[in-house]
């Protein structure tokens, strides 16, 4: 066509070149896509051409690769083919449209976003033969990796990978739960051979967003040795099998968890191994076990804020530091606890020895200590703006198809700081903590003095001798604006400090009992300043000192008018250990 051909308009005549220059680029692109321009016209500047410039932005519909989406046909191969094609082309989006797509194990690859439409669902197969182990993930040499390497969706050594909704991934986890102990489950896979919803190993920039993850066979999302991990807007309902964790991070760094709702049967958000630079915020959690659980390696530079922890039939915040472990610089703030047991447990040192096991001794050439025998360290941990209720009679977890019993130590538990075997527990602070405990503690429980000399699970020591707060072998404890109450009468002290050095208790408001021995109990504790304390109800003596090693204690002011007296002394303690200022 000649460029001088006249194009008629309502107002005047233009050459074709003039008309092309006057049409907006988006409109011209649409005309070009409709085939209304000649090849020469489509070559004009600003016109979109199909030259491969859109690589990395294309959409790969799994139906185009043979997926049926009827809920009965196995679509594993089709979904994998779409992911592989997307990855080969430099990345893009793999689309799971409306429909139910039955799959077994599928591998996610670099630069791929798996998008599940609102009416789309990935349905985990109930046939164990449709899954396989991820051999690239080792199971030996690191105790934190010994929970299996099977998955519905997995990524290994990948970068820039995303799973996003608003659709659903359903693991059909009931098929992996044995109805009768000792018999195989319907799927044929049990124990550590169960698939996770999502398994990630040594990946960089991995995200899961705006999606529902239901009824997993094992943990929902397990992330191992990966960096730059984002979890946002996720709904997890995982209560159909044992070990139904929500998030399980192992030696992960630069992790953000936000705007999530997690209902799990086991740990809601576990952080094992060496986890660093983690932020968790604006989320709600409910579980039979623990919400925030730490163990092993080095965990540091972690903050948890603005979260609701409700119906936690376990321990909401649990930090366990075995020998060789260091947990440091961790903050918990703005948390609501509703009907939880626990509620906070920090245990430092070796756990309960197994029956028949020989006592651990420091071995090695020249007395060198292995990593496992180095003393554990926990320090610089803060808790602030924490309010709620602590139950002594946890019910069975709601919306769960599996049940579990409760141990004696789970009911009458409290905030516990427990350090043994020469380990370090220091610089722990509590500010603006208001909790109401279930109460009901007995005189027998209050009489406990020699707790077992080990650390471990929050219930491991049995019912605690304090209803609100217990600390043993700790240094640098601060309680500021802490209020402890009970729903029913309790014969245990509200607070027990056992071999604690350097503590500050300011603005402590506490409920006591006239039948109890005391409101507070200090055992061989030193360098403590108590200021502005208040006893809220008629009570027994405010502070009972026990042991000859108590010293440098100051009780300064406050309102103790409802207590029978300020201080009593037992087991060799004398008035020389304390100064009382009216």
Q: Which domain holds residue 196?
A: 60-179+191-266
Q: Are 40 and 102 found together in one domain? A: no
Q: Are 124 and 70 found together in one domain? A: yes
Q: Are 40 and 71 found together in one domain? A: no
pLDDT tens digits, one per residue of 27-58: 433 333 333 333 333 333 333 344 578 999 99
Within-domain flag for 23: yes
User: To the nearest 5 percent, what fractions of the chain are helix, strand and coil?
Assistant: 10, 45, 45
Report the DSSP beta bridge partners of residue 382: 331, 429
What value does the CA radius of gyration of the chain take, rounded to a whole number of Å? 31
The length of the chain, given as a count of residues: 582
pLDDT of amino acid 37:
33
Q: Are 89 and 38 found together in one domain? A: no
- Nearest-CA neighbor of 542 among 487, 571, 505, 499? 505
Q: Are 214 and 129 found together in one domain? A: yes
pLDDT of amino acid 401:
82
- Residues in CB range of 20: below 8 A, 6 or more apart: 28, 41, 44
Q: Are 208 and 112 found together in one domain? A: yes
Q: Are 26 and 140 found together in one domain? A: no
Distance, in Å, from the CA atom of 502 to the CA atom of 432, rounded to the nearest integer, reads: 20
Q: For the chain, which residues score pLDDT lower than 50?
A: 1-50, 358-371
Q: How far is CA 242 from the centre of its chain?
A: 17
Q: Are 138 and 66 found together in one domain? A: yes
Give the CATH number for residue 114: 2.160.20.10
Angle at 127 between CA 124 and CA 131, to 5 degrees: 70
Within-domain flag for 228: yes
- Residue finishing a domain among 266, 284, 306: 266
pLDDT of amino acid 49:
44
Q: Tell me the backbone φ, ψ of residue 81, rounded to 5 degrees.
A: -65, -40
pLDDT of amino acid 7:
37
Q: Are 32 and 124 found together in one domain? A: no
- Residue finishing a domain among 220, 247, 266: 266
Q: Are 251 and 201 found together in one domain? A: yes
Q: Are 89 and 172 found together in one domain? A: yes
Within-domain flag for 76: yes
Within-domain flag for 201: yes
The pair of structure tokens assigned to 480 is 């500021």
Query: How large a percentage of the chain has pLDDT more than 70?
Result: 87
pLDDT of amino acid 360:
40
Within-domain flag for 33: yes
């Amino acid at each position: 066509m000649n460029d001088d051909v006249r194009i008629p308009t309502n107002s005047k005549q233009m050459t074709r070149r003039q008309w092309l220059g006057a049409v907006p680029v988006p409109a011209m692109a649409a005309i070009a896509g409709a085939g209304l321009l000649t090849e020469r016209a489509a070559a004009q500047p600003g016109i979109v051409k199909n030259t491969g410039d859109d690589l990395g932005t294309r959409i790969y519909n799994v139906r185009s690769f043979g997926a049926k989406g009827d809920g009965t046909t196995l679509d594993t191969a089709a979904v994998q083919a779409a992911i592989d094609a997307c990855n080969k082309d430099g990345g893009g989006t793999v689309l799971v449209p409306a429909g139910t797509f039955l799959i077994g194990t599928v591998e996610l690859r670099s630069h791929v976003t798996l998008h599940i439409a609102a009416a789309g669902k990935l349905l985990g197969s109930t046939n164990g033969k449709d899954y396989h182990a991820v051999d690239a993930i080792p199971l030996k040499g690191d105790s934190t990796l010994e929970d299996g390497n099977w998955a519905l969706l997995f990524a290994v050594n990948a970068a820039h990978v995303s799973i996003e909704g608003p659709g659903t991934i359903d693991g059909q986890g009931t098929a992996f739960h044995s109805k009768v102990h000792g018999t195989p489950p319907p799927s044929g896979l049990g124990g550590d051979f169960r698939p996770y919803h999502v398994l990630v190993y040594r990946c960089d920039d991995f995200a899961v967003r705006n999606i529902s993850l239901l009824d997993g066979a094992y943990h929902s999302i397990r992330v191992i040795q990966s960096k730059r991990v984002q979890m946002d807007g996720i709904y997890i309902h995982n209560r159909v099998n044992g070990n139904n964790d929500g998030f399980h991070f192992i030696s992960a760094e630069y992790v953000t968890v936000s705007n999530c709702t997690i209902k799990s049967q086991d740990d809601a958000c576990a952080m094992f191994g060496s986890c660093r630079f983690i932020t968790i915020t604006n989320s709600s959690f409910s579980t039979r076990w623990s919400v925030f659980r730490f163990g092993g390696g080095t965990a540091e530079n972690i903050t948890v804020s603005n979260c609701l922890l409700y119906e936690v039939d376990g321990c909401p915040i649990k930090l366990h530091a075995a020998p060789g472990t260091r947990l440091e610089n961790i903050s918990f703030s703005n948390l609501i606890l509703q009907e939880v047991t626990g509620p906070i447990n920090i245990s430092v040192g070796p756990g309960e020895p197994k029956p028949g096991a020989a006592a651990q001794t420091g071995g090695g050439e020249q007395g060198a200590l292995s990593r496992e025998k180095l003393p554990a360290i926990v320090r610089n941990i803060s808790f602030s703006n924490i309010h709620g209720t602590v139950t002594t009679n946890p019910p069975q977890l709601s919306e769960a198809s599996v049940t579990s019993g409760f141990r004696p130590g789970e009911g009458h538990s409290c905030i516990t700081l427990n350090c043994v075997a020469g380990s370090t527990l220091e610089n722990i602070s509590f500010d603006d903590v208001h909790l109401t405990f279930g109460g009901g503690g007995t005189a027998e429980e209050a009489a406990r003095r020699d707790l077992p000399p080990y650390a471990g699970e929050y219930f491991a020591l049995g019912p605690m001798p304090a209803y609100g707060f217990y600390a043993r072998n700790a240094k640098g404890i601060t309680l500021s604006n802490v209020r402890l109450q009970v729903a029913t009468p309790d014969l245990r002290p509200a607070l027990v400090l056992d071999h604690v050095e350097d503590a500050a208790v300011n603005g402590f408001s506490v409920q006591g009992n006239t039948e109890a021995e005391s409101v507070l109990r200090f055992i061989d504790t030193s360098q403590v300043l108590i200021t502005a304390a208040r006893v809220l109800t008629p009570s027994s003596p405010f502070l009972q000192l026990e042991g000859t090693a108590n010293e440098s204690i100051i009780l300064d002011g406050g309102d103790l008018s409802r207590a029978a007296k300020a201080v009593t002394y037992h087991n060799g303690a004398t008035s020389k250990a304390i100064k009382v200022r009216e």
